[in-house]
Each structure stands twice: as structure tokens, then as C-alpha cells.
Amino acid sequence: MATETGESTVRGTALPLVPGALAGGAAWLVSYLLTYVLTSGTIQNSGLYKALDAVNSAPPVWKLVGWLFYNAHVVNSDVPGLFGTTSVVNFISRVDAFSPVLYVVPPALLLAAGIVTARRSGLGSVAEAATSGATVVVGYLPLSIVIAFLVRVPVGQQVAGPDLLTAVLLAGVLYPLVCGAVGGAIAQIAD
């Protein structure tokens, strides 16, 4: 059952789906933009990227930033190797040029989104606030799914990019549910 404010009710409790979706979508976009700001220069200045760019085979920087964005959610990238093999890589943990601070960006913004959503909903108990904060998944999940497909890059007969299953499960579902819920609980406890 939906209300005029875009909230859905479950067992008489209003879920702030529209505010949660907006906060989750905003958290996703800001996380990606911060990842872009923190990594795009390093990517463009790498020797490998310059060499690939010289022969017009370098993927767009925004796609490689997307790989790092998913790596920050502990989603590995699948990178084709020789003879049909595939390497599973998290570039943040493997390349010293990328700061481990990137791992903090998505959870911090999802916590903030959960706090904002819970405060806007005005729910009374910690459990209700946590449930309210978890609704950020409504905005975070669709972007995580779509972009996981868009940042994939053909490499010969194979494709390189974030592992799709873990991109959906970890980046799209687990991170926003847990961090949003914790943010919602924090909002209620802090009040």
C-alpha cells in the first residue's frame, strides 16, 4: 500500500521508499564521483594506460574508475589472460597507487544516506530507524546493476570488468542494506 508521500506500508509501518531511493542514488553517485576524483589521474598517468591509449585500445577512464568503484565494495574484477584464462583482481589491494581510503568511501556515504533517510522518516524505535535507513538499497541497487554492465570492456573474445554476481550481491544489496540500516540506527540513537 503506498501513501501520498511515496512511502509504502508494511504491517502498518511506513517505509520511506522514495526518500530512501533518493538518498541511495545520491550516495551511489557521490561515491562514484569521489572515486573518479581520487583515481582518474592515476589511471591516465599510468604507463599501461598511455601505451594502450597510443594505439587507440585504452578503455575510457570512467569505465576503469568503475572497476575501482566496485573494488571499493570488495567486488573483484575479472581480467582475461592468456590462453582463455581469467585473473580475479582487486586493483585497490594490488596497486600501491590506489589508496585503501577508497574502501571507506561507499560505506561512509551509505551510512550518511541511512542517517538522512531515518531522520526524514521520523520513526520512533531503533529497529524502525534501521529499517528506514536500509531503504537506501532501493536507489543503490539499480545503479549498481546497470553500471556493472556498462563498465565492462571487451578484450578479444572475452570481457573484463567487475564480477557481475558479486557486483549485484555485495555492492548492490549487502552494502546498502547493512550500512543504510546502521546509519538509520545511529540516527535514532544520536537523537
DSSP 55-117: TT-PPPHHHHHHHHHHHTTTPPEEEE-GGG-EEEE-HHHH-TTS-GGGGTHHHHHHHHHHHHH
Task: Kindly state whether residue 1 falls inside one of the protein's structural domains.
Answer: no
Q: How many domains does the chain have?
A: 1
Task: Kindly state whether residue 89 falls inside one of the protein's structural domains.
Answer: yes
82: left (phi over 0), alpha (psi -120 to 50) or beta: beta
Supply the pLDDT for residue 54.
73
Task: Kindly state whether residue 2 falls inside one of the protein's structural domains.
Answer: no
Task: Kindly state whether residue 137 falls inside one of the protein's structural domains.
Answer: yes
Task: Kindly state whether residue 162 falls inside one of the protein's structural domains.
Answer: yes
Cα(185)–Cα(126) distance, rounded to whole angstroms? 5
pTM of this prediction? 0.89
* CA 9 to chain CA centroid, nearest Å: 27
Task: Kindly state whether residue 33 falls inside one of the protein's structural domains.
Answer: yes
Higher pLDDT, 161 or 52: 161
- Please name the residues in contact with 181: beta carbons below 8 A apart, sequence gap of 6 or more: 114, 130, 131, 133, 134
**Quick check: 13 pLDDT over 80?**
no
Task: Kindly state whether residue 156 falls inside one of the protein's structural domains.
Answer: yes
Element (H, E) at 30: helix 17-45
Supply the pLDDT for residue 5.
52
Domain with 141 in it: 11-190
Supply the pLDDT for residue 132.
95
pLDDT in tens, 97-124: 999 999 999 999 999 999 999 999 887 8
Task: Kindly state whether residue 5 falls inside one of the protein's structural domains.
Answer: no
List residues bridging with 86 in a β-sheet: 80
Q: Which residue has the cell 568511501?
A: 105
Task: Give the chain's mean pLDDT.
Answer: 90
Cell of 168: 549485484
